[in-house]
Amino acid sequence: MAKAVLMQGNHACAEGAIAAGARFFAGYPITPSTEVAELLAKRLPQVGGSFIQMEDEIAGMAAIIGASLAGTKSLTATSGPGFSLKQELIGYASMAEVPCVIVNVQRTGPSTGQPTSPAQGDVMQARWGSHGDRGVIALSPSSVPECFTLTVEAFNLAEKYRTPVVLLLDEIIGHMREKFVMPDPASLTIVNRKKPALPPGEFLPYKPEADGVAPMPGYGEGYRFHTTGLVHDYTGFPSGSNAVTHELIERLHTKITNNIDDIVKYEALELDDAEVAVVAFGGTARSAYAAIESARAEGIKAGLFRPITIWPVPEKQLFTVAEKVKTIIVAEMNYGQYVGEVRRVVCGKANVVSLAKWNNDPITPNELLNAIKAGR
C-alpha cells in the first residue's frame, strides 16, 4: 500500500501522465504551470521517456504532436499566454487527429495578465481558441488526487477519440498541496489508441470506424501514412472536395458529441431537493462545497453541480438540474464565461445568475453563500 504524501496539483498531473503511459513532454516554462515540466524533466527519463524544453510554446506543441504521431503518448503544459500561442497547433492536432494532452494552469488575461494568482480565464479559449470548427474535450480537476486521475482520463480520452484534450487547472488546484495516495497502477484503466487490423496497402488511415475514429499506426510500422493539416480524405492526402470537407469537419464534432455519454463526467451534490444550484468547477468548486454546507446548516436547500468535463458541456445533466431548481449560480474566476453556456443549455428553465470574479482572489464561501441566499 502506497503511503500518503503531500503533493501539489501540478505534480499530481505529472505523475498522472506517467501513470497514463505518457513518455514524452515538450514545453516552455510558464507560471503557474512550470512544476509540471520540472517534475517531468526528472520523472520521464526515469521511466525511459524523454523531456525537452523547447525554444517557445509553439515548438512545445509541435514536438508533442510529432512524438505522438510517431507512437508515443505525449503532453505539454502551459498557462494563458502560452495556451494562446499553441492554439494553431492544437487545431492541427484536432484536424490531423493526433492524441495529446495540454495542461493549462489558467491565469487572468488578456496578455500577460496576472501570472501568479488564481483565475479561470481560458474556459472559452479551450473551446474556441483555435480557428475553424472542431469538437473539443476539456477537463477541470478540483483536487490534487483528481489532478492525477483526470490526467489519466485525459490521456484515455485523447487516445480513444484521437483528439487533443485540455486539462484546465487553476492556480488554486495547481499549487495547492493535499494528501495524495498513489493509486495501485493495476487499478487504473489505461486506454491505448486503436491499431490498424488491415495490412499496409489496404488500410486507409483516416477512414473512421463505427465510433467515428480511425485506427492509428505509428511510425516505423510499415504503413507509411501521410498526415496533413489540410482537409484530407480517408487516404490522408489533401482534398478540395466539398463532400470530403463537409464530412471531415462534421466528424471532428460528431466523434465527440455522439459519444458524449462516454465522455462527460460531473459531480452532483445535494441536488435532489435543491432550490438553488451552484455550478462551479476547478478551484471554485472548493468554495462551493463549503458554501453548500453552510447553506444547508441554515436550512437552505442548496446543491452543487460540478462539471468535471467542461467541454463538451454535460448538457443533459445540467438541463435536468435546471428543471428542478429555481436559481442556478454560475461561479467562476473570470468575467463570466461558462455562464453563457449554462444559459444556452438551460433554455430559461431556471434563473441563471453569474457570480464572476476576476480580481486575483478566489471566490469565497461567504460570497457564494450570499449569492445562494439572494437566489432563493
Partner 1 sequence: MEELLVKYFRPKLPHIWCPGCGNGIVTASVVKAIDKLQLDQDKTAIVSGIGCSSRASGYLNFDTLHTAHGRAIPFATGIKLVKPDHNVIVLTGDGDATAIGGNHFIHAARRNINLTVVVFNNSIYGMTGGQYSPLTPHRGMATTAPFGNVDRPFDLCELAKGAGATFVARATTYHANLLADLIAKAIEHKGFALVEAITACPVSFGRQNKMGTPANMIKWQRDNAVMVEAMAKMKPEQLEGKFPIGVLHQAEGTEYVTEYQKVIKRAMGSGE
Q: How far is the CB of 322 from partner 1 (least distance, A)?
A: 41
Q: Which of residues 18-37 bind partner 1 (CB under 8 A)?
A: 23-24, 26
Quickly tell me which residue has 467562476 as its cell.
332
316 binds partner 1 (CB under 8 A): no
6 binds partner 1 (CB under 8 A): no
In the set 8, 10, 33, 74, which binds partner 1 (CB under 8 A)?
A: 74
Q: Using CB under 8 A, which of the segments 170-178, 223-231, 315-323, 357-365 binds partner 1?
A: 223-231
In the set 5, 181, 230, 374, which binds partner 1 (CB under 8 A)?
A: 230
Residue 47 or 374 with smaller CB distance to partner 1: 47
In the set 133, 209, 211, 221, which binds partner 1 (CB under 8 A)?
A: 221
47 binds partner 1 (CB under 8 A): yes
Beta sheet of 351-356, edge-to-edge order: 266-269, 302-307, 276-279, 327-332, 351-356
Determine the size of the site formed for partner 1 (CB under 8 A): 46
228 binds partner 1 (CB under 8 A): yes
Nine cell digits for residue 102: 495540454
In the set 227, 254, 294, 351, which binds partner 1 (CB under 8 A)?
A: 227
Cα dihedral value 353, 265, 27, 357, nearest 10: 10
* Element spanning 76, H or E: strand 74-78
In the set 54, 204, 268, 290, which binds partner 1 (CB under 8 A)?
A: 54
Residue 59 or 173 with smaller CB distance to partner 1: 59
For the beta carbon of residue 130, count every other beta carbon within 10 angstroms: 21
Q: Which of residues 89-148 bind partner 1 (CB under 8 A)?
A: 89, 92
Residue 90 or 295 with smaller CB distance to partner 1: 90
Beta-carbon contacts of 85 under 8 Å, excluding residues fewer than 6 positions away, are 56, 57, 58, 61, 78
Asked if 123 and 337 count as a contact pair (C-beta separation under 8 A), the reply is yes
Quickly tell me which residue has 439572494 as its cell.
374
Asked if 263 and 252 count as a contact pair (C-beta separation under 8 A), the reply is no
